[in-house]
Amino acid sequence: MFRIIARSLKTGILTEAAPCHAPSSFSFPVMDFSRCVACDECAQSCPTGAIQTSPRAPGRKTVTLSYGPCIQCGECVSGCPEQAIRVSHDVEVAAYTRQQLKRTGLFDVDPVSGRWVFREVELQEGPSIEESAARLRDRIRGRLGRSLHVRQVDAGSCNACELEIAATTNPMFDLERFGVHLVASPRHADVLLVTGPVTRNMEIALRRTYEAAPEPRVVVAVGACGCSGGIFAEGTYASVGGVDRVLPVDVYIPGCPPRPQAILNGLLVAMGVREAKAIPNEIKAT
């Protein structure tokens, strides 16, 4: 017993004080539209269509980067000849809508050189992050307090997201210090934490789980598959697609899989304690 106490004192505190920074390994891509020439190389290298280019009008083109289907493979970073895409280690990437996971740049043709030239970042349609945060706070005001009971639902994932969710309970991240507790029944849950593309076999079970949860029930989609269907096509014989194809989603946590820090941040957003950022500051600055 004394040996265990002595070892604990020697080891000290390992829990991260503010789990909002990822280690120096690959996370989400960040696009500097001012350096981009809309050459389509990054879009062609992306295996999930997270980067797309499309003509908008004669002499005008758009380049869109979406974190929803992004699996953080890094192909776009190595495939960009202009080095307009770099890596962000920001894990505060939760969003309230799919649209907030996107950033679109508008490009015009230079009449002299014939090259595509960045003009501006396209304004997002739908509610802003601030408006979405206010709506969520209005729904949960006075009900959740500063504690949260979470029921995790695997709707068809590969279990990578489950491993990261399990990691949030270890001594390094310790989600219970934030008042977040995992529960066994949706009848005791404030939040449904849903992973994976919704398979046809799980669609009815997911709906029934949602109906069993008491109001105000909050739905959090975890991972690229949960946010958008990921690498699995939507509307096939086996998969419905992202969680929002079946349930109304309140918070999206992208990633393949999202880091424990990102999951914790998303849960704090779901509690209304913290607002979503959706896209790292590096993109906003461009």
Q: pLDDT tens digit string along 159-184?
A: 999 999 999 999 888 888 888 999 99
Q: Shortest CA distance to 95 belongs to which of 245, 240, 224?
A: 224
- State whether 267 and 242 are in the same domain: yes
Q: pLDDT tens digit string along 76-91?
A: 998 899 999 988 888 8
Sort 169 into a burial class: Cβ within 10 Å, 0-12 / 13-18 / 19+: middle
- Nearest 10 degrees: Cα torsion 267, 221, 280, 74: 130
Query: Which range among 65-79, 140-154, 167-181 shows the weakest confidence by mean pLDDT?
Result: 140-154
- State whether 170 and 61 are in the same domain: no
Q: What is the pLDDT at residue 284?
A: 44
- State whether 115 and 133 are in the same domain: no
Instruction: Look at residue 14 and tell me if it is in a domain.
Output: no
- State whether 73 and 202 are in the same domain: no
Q: Is residue 267 within a helix (H) or strand (E), and if so which, with residue range?
A: helix 260-271
CB 38 within 8 A of CB 54: no
- State whether 135 and 118 are in the same domain: no
Domain end residue (candidates: 109, 126, 143): 126
Helices 160-167, 260-271: crossing angle, 10 deg rounding: 70
- State whether 167 and 50 are in the same domain: no
- State whether 78 and 194 are in the same domain: no
H helical segments located in 122-173: 129-140, 160-167
43 half-sphere exposure, CB direction, 13 A CA radius: 13
Question: For residue 192, what pLDDT band results from cuts at 50, 70 and 90?
Answer: very high
Instruction: Look at residue 260 and tell me if it is in a domain.
Output: yes
Cα-trace Rg, the chain: 20
- State whether 118 and 252 are in the same domain: no
Give the Cα separation of 72 and 258 in Å (integer): 10
Q: Which domain holds residue 87?
A: 28-91+100-126
